[in-house]
Amino acid sequence: MQKLDDFRQELRDRFGALPEAAEWLVRLAEVRLLATRWQIVEIHLEKSLAGPTDIVLGYRSPRKVAKLAEQSEGRIRVVDGSSAYLRLRGNEDEPVELYALLKQSCVSPSARYSPAARGIGSWGAGAIITRSILLWRCGTP
């Protein structure tokens, strides 16, 4: 994560404040890197017409996802040999909250995340990027 933070800072040093869309692309890369540590290879939203929305995590390592589910204090539940679900609450499907939830879910239990601490502004371009690029897959390592 340090290299990504260095990259973000280098962009700011060279070009000034990043456009919101560029900042969201860096945040997306951050979530992908964190998820890869848990061998999560796919993330997408699953909405039901009348019910709640879930984040579906496709994974490769049952051992790692079991540990991730354990540290999530019941938020993540493993449903089969390749999928785990994280049920969204309230307005967690908004881009800023969704980003914060994914990031917090993929870090160690001792690390805490606050959107305000990172200076995340209004959702604007983040809505487009988070909702349209949330579905992703990693290649085989």
Question: Could you tell me the residue range of the domain that residue 126 belongs to?
Answer: 2-137
Q: In this structure, what token pair is assigned to residue 140?
A: 């085989």
**What value does the mean pLDDT take over residues 104-126?**
51
Q: Please give the tally of structural domains in the chain.
A: 1
Q: What is the pLDDT of residue 102?
A: 92
Percent of the chain with pLDDT over 70: 76
Q: Mean pLDDT, the chain, as a whole number? A: 79
Q: What is the pLDDT of residue 52?
A: 85
Q: What is the pLDDT of residue 4?
A: 85
**If we measure between CA atoms, which residue out of 135, 44, 113, 117 comes closest to residue 85?**
44
Q: What is the pLDDT of residue 127?
A: 44
Question: Which CATH number is 45's domain given?
Answer: 3.90.1150
